[in-house]
Amino acid sequence: METLSLLMEGFAGALTWQNLFWVVLGCFLGTAVGVMPGLGSSMAVALLLPVTFALEPTAAFIMFSGVYFGGLFGDSTMGILMNTPGQASAIASTFEGHKMALDGRAPQALATAAIGAFVGGFIASGVVVFLAPFLAEFSTQFGPAEFFALALFAFMATSSVVTDSAVKGLLSLAFGLGIAVVGIDGVTGIPRFTMDSPFLFDGISLVTVTVAVLALGEVIYFATIARFQREGQMIRSKGRPWLSKKELREAAPAWARGTAIGLPFGVVPAGGSEIPTFLAYGAERKLDRRRHDPQFGKGAIRGLAAPEAAGNSTTGMAMGALLALGLPISATAAIMLAAFRQYGLQPGPLLFERAPDLVWALLASFFIAMVVLLIINLPFAMVWAKLLLIPRHYLYAGITVFCGLGIYATSGSSFDLLLLLGVGIVGFLMRMHDYPLAPLIIGMVLGPLAETSLRDALISADGDASVLVQGPIALTLYGLLAIVLLVTLRSKITSRTKRDT
């Protein structure tokens, strides 16, 4: 098998002392940020993005994957112990997970979550290894019209599916697209919306916007509003975090089902692992109701196992979609895409040909990250919870300093710091008024791709718009998009009528 030998070479590349150090460091940092209540994995990745530019690409991405997965592990730890999920994707596992902890089964809950995340992530990484080359091969058939359809799919799905108000989601998206058009036009070389300021000729840096929206805006939000909201008490976990044979038998099918539910969502640009975690939770609850002795509501181990596995299997697959198609399905994946670009690499079909060392070392490091995370999370969850002892004001002050550090180090100008502040304030206002932030990031990352492919397609067809809806791939994508939107609309209407009656 060619894939296996490539993967083995990847392991050889990833298992050097240096790279091993970066993946372990990434896992530690990711878990640490994920454990902090209110801080999720996307904030961790955003904060670390500028700093990794000091590293060479392979090391940087290996560290990133550790941070990404580590954040997911950490998110659920706090969701279980404190009922404060760090990220939307950890909400579904909090329901039953926290009840288990209240019931005195915190160690079992932590173990179920950690093993579930491990199983989901490990299987997904395995699927990615074999699927990604095919996906990359397939996407070489994509022309401008297909890429435009793909971008449009990502735009519509992220801004309408997950969010409560489609108008707010679309506004956030359009804002991101608007930020992305500032700077010199890639096709004609004409400066756009720069007010003749040389600071804006290169456009507004995605790094600046990401850090502003996901980190600085969050700090302002926490300082002015969130820190006054009541917080749950942390439940202490006593005893060895291990599962009895009975519990393992109980959880195993749920891990498997969760993983299966999560996998396909990794290639659907619909906002990441939020939907699959809820779907997995819902499926387990339905199955549970048919049993003699329903467990849901009393701390059902399956209600925790399935969403954990689903969340990580989606995340793992999402990395595959990112590498093979260049398609980010969540804000975190969008940041990773930005990081690739910063190194002059364009994820997508060509990446496998141009930088095979990096791709395979990165894929191998997913497996290593999973093992490292299982080791540092399973027995030591309560050690991580000690991080909560850091006083909140120093923690957030440190985060703010880190924002400034990252942006100044990458841009070297005070102008970018002011831009960071300005966008951060907008991000804070959006957060306060419940505007989703992921569409903004995705719009900014995929905006240039959408614009160039749209214009290329139109120019090559002399302005004939029908070129956009020709070809089986583009038509399939639009068909899928229509189905996704209809299903969303239906579920929104039914949930509204349910609420009213």
Partner 1 sequence: MSHASVSDSSAPAPWTDAAPSSGGSPRSAGALLRALVMPVVFAAFATYLLVGMLVMDVPDSVDFPGPRFFPAIITGVIYVLVVVQIITVVRHWSSGTLGDTDDAAPAIFSWRSLIWVIGGFLAFSLLLEFLGWILGAALLFWCVARGFGSKRPLVSLIIGLTVSSVAYIAFDMALGLSLPSGILGGGF
One-letter amino acid for residue 244 of the chain: S
* Minimum CB–partner distance for residue 391 and partner 1 (Å): 8
Handedness of CA 367, 368, 371, 374 (dihedral sign): negative
Based on CB atoms, which residue is closest to partner 1, 185 or 250?
185
Lookup: tokens for 60: 């940087």
CB of 262 to partner 1, least distance (A): 28
| Residue whose CB is less far from partner 1, 292 or 496 | 496
Q: Which is nearer to partner 1, 227 or 490 (CB)?
A: 227
**What tokens does 155 get?**
């735009």
Distance, in Å, from the CA atom of 283 to the CA atom of 365, rounded to the nearest integer, reads 31
Backbone angles phi, psi at 455, to 5 degrees: -70, -40
What is the smallest separation between the CB atom of 449 and partner 1, expressed in angstroms? 11
Of 60 and 78, the one with the shorter C-beta distance to partner 1 is 60
CA–CA separation, 266 and 487 (whole Å) = 18
Question: Would you state the structure tokens that stand for residue 46, as one six-digit string?
Answer: 């955003």
Give whichever of 151 and 484 is closer to partner 1, judged by the CB atom. 151
Instruction: Provide, rounded to whole angstroms, the least separation between the CB of residue 46 and partner 1.
Output: 16
What does the block give as tokens for 340? Answer: 């690739």
Check if the beta carbon of residue 110 is closer than 8 Å to that of residue 240.
no
Least Cβ distance, residue 88 to partner 1 (angstroms): 15
- Encoding tokens for residue 495? 């949930």
In angstroms, rounded to a whole number, what is the distance separating the alpha carbons of residues 8 and 12?
6
Structure tokens at 203: 């456009």
**Minimum distance of partner 1 from residue 415's CB (angstroms):** 9
Shorter beta-carbon distance to partner 1: residue 116 or 427: 427
Cα–Cα nearest to 9, from 294, 356, 301: 356
In the bound state with partner 1, the residue whose beta carbon lies nearer, of 76 and 172, is 172
Per-residue tokens: 152: 């449009």
Question: How many CB atoms neighbour CB 476 within 10 A?
Answer: 12
Report the interhelical angle of 166-180 vs 144-160 (nearest 10°): 140
For 149-228, where are the E strands, in sequence order? 183-184, 191-192
Cα(210)–Cα(132) distance, rounded to whole angstroms?
27
Give me the least distance between CB of 268 and partner 1, in Å please.
Answer: 23
Number of Cβ within a 10 Å radius of residue 290: 7
Q: How far is the CB of 428 from partner 1 (least distance, A)?
A: 9
Residue 104 phi/psi, 5-degree rounding, is 85, 15
Nearer CB in complex with partner 1: 116/406: 406
- Shortest Å, Cβ 153 to partner 1: 17
- Interacting residues toward partner 1 by CB under 8 A: 51, 53-55, 164-165, 167-168, 170-171, 174-175, 177-178, 181, 185, 187-188, 190, 192-193, 195, 216, 219-220, 222-225, 227-229, 391-394, 396-398, 400-402, 404-405, 408-409, 412, 414, 417-418, 420-421, 424-426, 429-430, 432-435, 450-451, 454-455, 458-459, 462-463
Count helices and strands (H / E) in the chain: 21, 2
CB 207 to partner 1: min, Å = 13
- Tokens encoding 272: 């990441």
Residue 430 structure tokens:
């959006």
Give whichever of 153 and 296 is closer to partner 1, judged by the CB atom. Answer: 153
Please identify, using beta-carbon distances, which residue of 246 and 433 lies nearer to partner 1. 433
